[in-house]
Each structure stands twice: as C-alpha cells, then as structure tokens.
Amino acid sequence: MNVLVTGAAGYIGSVVVSELIQNNYAVVALDDLSLGHRNAVHPQATFVRADLSAYDQVDRVFSRSSIDAVIHLAGQSLVGESMQDPGKFFRANIINGLNVLEAMRHHNVHKFVFSSTAAVYGEPQHLPLTENSDCNPINPYGASKLYFERILPWYLNTYGIKYMILRYFNAAGATAILGESHPVESHLIPIILETALGLRLNLELFGSDYDTKDGSCNRDYIHVSDLATAHIKALDHIEQPQNRVYNLGMGHGYSNIEVLEAARKVTGMSIPSTFGPRRPGDPPILIAKADRARTELGWTPNHREIEPIVESAWRWKVKYPKGYVD
C-alpha cells in the first residue's frame, strides 16, 4: 500500500513514517517544513515539499504519485497560540484538511486516517474520557479538530471516503533517532529536559491552583512510538471498522509536578522550577479510556509509565540538545 503522510517532518509524523516503512508500506512524506525538519524524514520515504493551503499543490501530489491511503497529521497544535489567533488554526486545521479530502475524491483515494486530539473534549464532566464523552472544546485548537471530525461522515456518505479518527492524548518520548524539536517549544517534557541541560534558566509550570491532587494540571501521556503503531492498526481496520473514533492514551494521568519529579529522577538533576499563572485554554485534567482501541484494533502500547517515556526523551535530548540540524 502506498500511503501519503501529511505533516511527515513533524514530531509525530516522522515517527509514523518510520513505522510505516518498517512495516513495508511505501510512503509519500509531505510537509511544508514551516514547523517540521527535513532530516527527520526517513530516507526511504519519497519527500514532497508542499503547502496544503494551496489546492493546486495538493492536487499535484496526487497526480504525480500513486496513493492508496492518507494519514493526515499536518496542522497547528499550540493551544496557547490558538487562543490568540484562532483564525490561523481554523484555516490550517479545517480548510487545509478540506483541500486534502477534495484531492482524494478527485483521485479516487478512499482511505483517510485523521490525527485528532483530546482537546475536543474540553473540561471533562466525568473521567476517564470515552469516545462517547461530551465534546465541548474550550480552545480554538480543540474546536478546529472537532469541526473537521464532523466533516468526515459527510465525505464517507457522499464520496465513499472511509475514515478513522485517532484522538491523541499527550504524545511524549522519543525513539533512538527521532524526538521532539519544535521552533517554539510548548510541551512540558522537552521544556523540563532543556532546563536540565541548562538551555533554559528555569522551568515555569502553568497553574498551581487547579482542582487536582497537587494543584497542577494532570495529563495522560502516550509514547510517540505507540501512537505510530496505532496508525498502522487503523489502516488495517479501515475497511470494516466496528467504530471510527478511537482514544489513544494510557488510562492514567500524571500531574505536572509528578512529571517534573520523574525527570529529576531520570536525569539526576535538581531542575529549578517556579509556578506561573494558569495558561488560557488548559483544562485541569485529561485522562483517556482507550479500551476500544485495544479490543477493536488490537493496539497494545509498550510504554505504560512516565519514567520510561521521560527516559527515552532524555536520551534523545542529550544526543541532540539543539534538535535537528536542517
């Protein structure tokens, strides 16, 4: 099977590309390199630099390549930025995705795996979150992903484009050669590790007065390689799925303070930290119930605790302290 991966040079996308190639898929890796890194793309993938906001460029990719399925990861994902510039997120996460769907229907491609997010749920009323939990996003990032989710059944019913929606909780960790490196880092674990390496003077944790066990935000962390494996499982089941929406998480959470303590243990460093104000758009706690993915897709995560996840990220960060050199 020939698979087009959008956002292929990003953190999750590069690991998905690598996992696909290891499982004998042929991959067309698409990215505009505004946020991703060319050096993160597997050398056996066919790399294409293209802008998803330009339909003619998207159409050209389909015209020049034999594509059987699409895994769509490209988009904007910074919650804080979405609160300041919502239009940017609606354009990137809805309009650009529509360009991909339109190219698919014009070129008779009928398999689509969508990278969604736990942010669609907003502030949960009940935990853990199931795929049937109410979706009330509290930031434009989550709203943009939810709106795009709601487009997909129409493309299935009208054009026969079969889809799978994977709602990620907090992606983390690294493989031996692929890790997290963003132009503007907003994720907790890499920021902690940059502080440990002296690349930052101090770690600021956002919020100490949430209604959680220690006052800090609580998140469900899932190793990036386990996320990548889930995409293979989704492709395997896309023809006759029992459902089309799947949570991807571990089913238990860690507070910001617990993640910091895990990093201190892994690195052997004190890691200076302070508390700042809450970050707008952050729900206090997000924990998945991912039984559906386990039972229906046969997905089995290999990383179940926070320390091994942090340790994998630390090994990569020590080896590549400044990230990718493009």
> Any idea which residues carry the catalytic annotation?
141
- Residue 150 burial (C-beta neighbours within 10 Å; 0-12, 13-18, 19+): exposed
Token pair 């039972």 is at which residue? 295
Cα angle, residue 145 at apex, residues 326 and 207 outer, rounded to 5°: 80
For residue 31, report the phi and psi dihedrals to the nearest 5 degrees: -160, 150
* Alpha-carbon span 120 to 123, nearest angstrom: 9
Supply 84's token pair.
């300041």
2: three-class secondary structure by DSSP:
strand
164: Cα within 13 Å, side-chain hemisphere? 28
| Cβ 313 vs Cβ 221: under 8 Å | no
Sign of CA dihedral 240, 245, 248, 251: negative
Supply 240's token pair.
């006759």
The widest CA-to-CA distance across the chain, in whole angstroms, is: 57
Give residue 220's identity as a one-letter amino acid code.
Answer: D
